[in-house]
Amino acid sequence: MLWWLLACRPQGDICLGSRSSPFVPVEEEEVRATEADLVWEAADGGSMAASESCPQPPCVELVGPGEMSAFVELNREVDSRIRAWLWAEGTSRLELRKENSAGEFETIAGWDIPEGDSELDRSFSIDQPGGRTTLVARTEGRLRLDEPTLSSSTWAAVEGEGVEKLRLGFLIHAERQNSFLKEEASFQRKAVILEDLAELLHGVGQRLTVQVDDSFLEAATRWDPGWFKRMRAMGVGWSVHLHAGGSEESFTEVLDASLAAFDTAGLHVTDLNGGFDGSLWSTAPDRGILSLTAYKEASTQARLDYVSTQPWRPPEGSSSRDEFAKDDPESPLIYLPGAPTREEDPTRLAPFWGRVLSQALSQAKPGRVNTWYLLLHVNDFGPLPVEDFDIWLESGAWEEEKGQLSIALEESFAPYQDRLIPSVPTEMSRDYLAWEESCSTR
């Protein structure tokens, strides 16, 4: 007992008097996502012209009416920024367009350009992963762009000297789809990726937590019941992922359907996440839910924007980020902290994880349960059109990507390997309950 009492007394403080985690702002650095030498092509009637004031790239001039465009590679970790020196004659506009699942380009941000000389310096966000992005310039008269650049903020790597362990997990979710039960291809599009990622992480000593609802679980039982056994063999964790609102009754109905599907599959689940108002949580503890993960404010979908590694108990009914960050020992649910943002480009996952881990480990405290997880989305992997999935698998592109990702993961985690404990939310919440119990007996 003495060992437990000392272990839960951080830096000499009574542990129940120091429950809450410190909330430390994310350290960021600006990364140039695109160099100024964009490759522009004229389209829709416009022509690109050279002049004494704009003789060569990175300066480019469009004579309209018409448009020109250039593909860009954007880092989608946090907000991005566009900068350019402009001169316009006539109605002119810059737009960012992103390719959707149908291969069409949709405008996601736009800026009207005033006539004469001006400077553009604006931030923007890309909310959904996948697809190519293009920068489009349009004018009815004449438009000149000089030194156009796009940049974005990312987590910075920090130096740490601690030795405390961090319980690390990887969370990935699949949204509800009615087509899972109707079309095996729709189910397999997600199931193959989930299983392959679990295998990939298992191979480097890490563990995946799958966040799904009854629509996916019932489809797995129908189309591939052996999928559960294979996932369990790799130490996969489970979590309920749902979006529900309105009344407590409607929330409870959706939650009960998912919990029943987990029971039918013989899976133990105690963690809940998704998009729902905090006022609806009160029904969850009565159904065996112990923890919440991957918080998003229901009204804005904003995540927590700081680093925190020690779990806490958000006040019951809290529906804003400020309320949620307060610790209430009497609240029935534990919040397990993890990454408040995620990288959406698979080619940048591994270096991003390394930078995030450096900041999380810098906040791990002695005598505490320190948790962290990195977020994934199943749609980040593979082609967006479902009908292209089999062709993509047969091409060998996924096997090549997994091999590269495995190597990158090993390299990213190597500096921190002795401080990482592979874990899943069920185990994280269990460890936190043990910590609370040992503290309460002091």
Separation CA 66–CA 137 (nearest Å): 9
Query: How high is the pLDDT of residue 14?
Result: 47
Helices (H), 74-224: 179-182, 184-203, 214-223
230 three-state secondary structure:
helix
Query: How high is the pLDDT of residue 407?
Result: 84
Q: What's the token pair of residue 295?
A: 């918080």
Domains in the chain, ordered, with CATH?
2-27+156-440 (3.20.20.370), 30-154 (2.60.120.260)
Query: How high is the pLDDT of residue 16?
Result: 54
CA 29 to each of CA 78, 158, 432: distance values in angstroms, whole numbers, following the listed order? 11, 11, 33
Number of H helices, E strands in the chain: 11, 21
Q: 108, 107, 112, 118: which is closest to 144 by C-alpha?
A: 118
Query: How high is the pLDDT of residue 86?
Result: 94
* Per-residue 3-state assignment (H helix, E strand, C coil) for 113-141: ECCEEEEEEEEECCCCCCCCEEEEEEECC
CB atoms inside a 10 Å sphere around CB 176: 16
Residues of the chain with pLDDT under 50: 1-14, 442
Burial class (CB in 10 A: 0-12, 13-18, 19+), 75: buried
Query: How high is the pLDDT of residue 151?
Result: 81
Query: How high is the pLDDT of residue 346?
Result: 62
Query: How high is the pLDDT of residue 130?
Result: 57
pLDDT for 277-292, tens place per residue? 777 877 889 999 999 9
DSSP lists the bridge partners of residue 359 as: none
Query: How high is the pLDDT of residue 232?
Result: 95
Separation CA 201–CA 146 (nearest Å): 45
Rg of the chain over all Cα atoms, to the nearest angstrom: 24
Counting every residue written for the chain, the total comes to 442
pTM check: above 0.75: yes
Separation CA 97–CA 45 (nearest Å): 19
CB 72 within 8 A of CB 150: yes
